[in-house]
């Protein structure tokens, strides 16, 4: 048995303490940065929801008045309805398209790299540039799309006049811009499905859609849930696409919660109401994210068994 001297014991104890401390010290700068740029401003913004706050006045405590104002505002409910429809249509359309393309490309056909590059190209385009480009292409009078529709004897897309046309256009734009993100997640998952599973299923007589239904889909379900969760959160705060394209119009048909928030915060300078709206958005997003996280957790636990 080795007996340590008291000095050496102290040294080793100090060294052990230091070793325990080092990981915390190493992550401290990042944590500090997160505190400064994320946590403190978030707390301040949440606090602001309970104050009347604007330029030229001292912030005054108003309790839940800002929330009452938001919930009494017909434009908030219009924006909430539009947001819920927009997010669901956009996210599920993206998942459907992303999965379909991923499965198709997983069959390994010619020029696959080229196809992948083409599919993910929209993700490399700045949203602002993309919207301006589409605005030009979809111009009701002189746009290329309406010109083509005219040649085919079809009705024009009047997104500046007909509310549902406007809504459909912003949905399609958002889908066009973000399907590559969903595709990348799902393509990796589809490529990761073991070929042995397919071979075993084929031996059991599974063919075509059955292979997809009983092998591919369950295998990539965790990835689908991850994509769903991310896209739900991102789509919920969609702003620039809609703002640049329609500014929420015509007739409020594309007004989303993010636009409602922007107007209150940066056009009306009503920071309290904007903060209350932000808090409502955070709560709704958190509920959605929790649901998907919980489902994801259950799927993983089930798979582990």
Partner 1 sequence: MKKRIYTLDRREFLKLGGTAALLAATGGLPLRVFAQGGRTFVVVSHAVHQTVATTGGGGDIVAPWLAEQGIASVDWRTAGIPQVHETLFREASLNQTNLDVGYILNTHLFPRIATLFDPLDPYLAENPIEDFGDFFPGMIDSLTIDGQLYGVPVRHSTSGLHWNQAYFEERGIPGPPETMEQVAEYARQLTFTRSDGQPVYGFVIPGSGQMHANTTDIARAWNGDFITTSYDVVCAEPPMVKALTMLRDLFVEGVLPASLIAIANTDLDTWMQTGRAAMCVGGMGRNRIYNDATASQFPGQIETMAIPVAEELVGQFEVAPIKTEYWSMVIPKASRQKDLSWDFIQELSTKRAHLAMALNGNGPTRASTYDEPEFNSRLPYAEAEKKALAVARVPLPAFDRSAEAADVITEHVQAAILGAMTPQRAMDRLALRLEGLLPG
Residues 6+ apart with CB under 8 A from 250: 160, 161, 162, 163, 166
Residue 252 Cβ vs partner 1, minimum distance, rounded to whole Å: 6
Site for partner 1 in 129-168 (CB under 8 A): 135, 139-142, 156, 158, 160-161
Q: Are 170 and 245 within 8 A, CB to CB?
A: yes
Question: Based on CB atoms, which residue is closest to partner 1, 207 or 267?
Answer: 267
| Least distance to partner 1, CB of residue 38, Å | 18
Half-sphere exposure of 12 (CA within 13 A, CB side): 6
Select 235 or 256, whichever has its Cβ closest to partner 1. 256
Helix (H, G, I), strand (E, B) or coil at 61: strand
C-alpha separations of 260 from 25, 52, 73, 141 in Å: 42, 17, 10, 29
* CA pair distance 178, 234, nearest whole angstrom: 10
Q: d(Cα 178, Cα 233) in Å, to the nearest integer?
A: 13
Q: Is residue 172 within the footprint of partner 1 (CB under 8 A)? A: no
Return the residue of 2, 23, 29, 55 that touches partner 1, per CB under 8 A. 55
Q: Which of 204, 228, 219 is nearest to 103 (CA)?
A: 219
Q: How far is the CB of 168 from partner 1 (least distance, A)?
A: 16
Backbone angles phi, psi at 61, to 5 degrees: -65, 125
Q: Between 72 and 204, whose beta carbon lies closer to partner 1?
A: 72
Q: Closest separation between CB of residue 259 and partner 1, Å?
A: 11
Size of interface with partner 1, in residues (CB under 8 A): 24
Residue placing its CB nearer to partner 1 in the complex, 268 or 291: 268
Confirm or reject binding of residue 251 to partner 1 (CB under 8 A): yes
What minimum distance in Å lies between the beta carbon of 74 and partner 1?
A: 9
The three-class DSSP label of residue 192 is: coil
Kindly tell me which residue out of 118, 247, 290, 300 binds partner 1, with binding defined by CB under 8 A: 247
The SS3 of residue 62 is coil
Q: How far is the CB of 147 from partner 1 (least distance, A)?
A: 11
Could you tell me where the beta strands, DSSP code E, fall in the chain?
Answer: 51-52, 60-61
Which residues ranging from 254 to 273 are in contact with partner 1 (CB under 8 A)?
Answer: 263, 266-269
- Please give the angle made by the CA atoms of 247, 253 and 256, to the nearest 5 degrees: 60
In terms of CB distance, is 54 or 299 closer to partner 1? 54
User: Which residue lies nearer to partner 1 by CB, 218 or 250?
Assistant: 250
Using CB under 8 A, list all residues that contact partner 1: 54-57, 135, 139-142, 156, 158, 160-161, 246-247, 249-252, 263, 266-269
């Amino acid at each position: 048995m080795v007996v340590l001297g008291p000095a050496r014991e102290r040294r080793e104890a100090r060294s052990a303490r230091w070793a325990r401390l080092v990981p915390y010290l190493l992550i401290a700068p990042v944590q500090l940065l997160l505190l400064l740029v994320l946590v403190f401003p978030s707390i301040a913004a949440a606090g602001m929801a309970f104050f009347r706050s604007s330029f030229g006045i001292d912030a005054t405590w108003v309790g839940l008045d800002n929330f009452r104002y938001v919930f009494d505002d017909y434009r908030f409910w219009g924006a909430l309805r539009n947001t819920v429809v927009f997010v669901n249509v956009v996210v599920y359309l993206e998942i459907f398209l992303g999965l379909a393309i991923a499965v198709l490309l997983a069959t390994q056909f010619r020029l696959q790299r080229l196809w992948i590059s083409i599919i993910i190209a929209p993700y490399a385009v700045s949203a602002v540039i993309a919207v301006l480009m589409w605005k030009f292409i979809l111009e009701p009078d002189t746009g290329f799309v309406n010109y083509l529709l005219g040649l085919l004897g079809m009705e024009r897309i009047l997104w500046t006049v007909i509310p549902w046309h406007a809504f459909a256009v912003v949905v399609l734009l958002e889908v066009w811009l973000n399907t590559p993100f969903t595709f990348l997640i799902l393509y990796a998952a589809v490529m990761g499905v073991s070929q042995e599973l397919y071979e075993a299923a084929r031996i059991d007589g599974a063919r075509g859609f059955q292979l997809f239904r009983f092998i591919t889909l369950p295998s990539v379900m965790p990835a689908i849930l991850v994509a769903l969760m991310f896209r739900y959160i991102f789509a919920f705060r969609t702003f620039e696409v809609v703002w640049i394209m329609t500014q929420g119009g015509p007739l409020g048909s594309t007004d989303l919660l993010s636009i409602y928030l922007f107007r209150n915060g940066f056009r009306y300078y009503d920071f309290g109401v904007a903060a209350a709206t932000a808090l409502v958005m955070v709560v709704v997003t958190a509920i959605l994210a929790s649901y998907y996280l919980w489902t994801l957790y259950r799927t993983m636990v089930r798979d582990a068994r």
